[in-house]
Amino acid sequence: MSKKKSTKLGASLLRAADELVAHAKGEIALPLRYIAIENIDVSAIRGKLGLSQNEFARRFCINPRALQDWEQGRRKPESAVRAYLIVIEQNPAAVEKALKTAS
């Protein structure tokens, strides 16, 4: 029986799997990456989707009053909400699918 030749991608995937197992066992700590999201244009995200404030709030489980405050500059979304809004902007269908399966 001949030995199969591994590809660079295959070898990389095996190394990554080994790291994950070692991390799960507490043997190594994987590096963390933090991203600061300072400014976000909530109105532009909503506008890009063509939704009214009420539709946007209902579709993505956001308090309508909070949405109004963010868009009018009276309040700034918390950091987790800013990250959520970026996910909505990048892939609204995935967010909707996740929310539908959660209910």
DSSP readout, the chain?
-PPPPPPHHHHHHHHHHHHHHHHHTTS--------------HHHHHHHHT--HHHHHHHTT--HHHHHHHHTTS----HHHHHHHHHHHH-HHHHHHHHHHH-
pTM over 0.85: no
pLDDT band at 71 (very low <50, low <70, confident <90, very high): very high
Q: What is the pLDDT of residue 38?
A: 82
pLDDT band at 4 (very low <50, low <70, confident <90, very high): low
pLDDT by residue (tens digit) across 5-22? 778 998 899 999 999 999
pLDDT by residue (tens digit) across 37-68? 888 999 999 999 999 999 999 999 999 999 99
Residues 85 and 62: their CA atoms lie apart, in Å, by 10
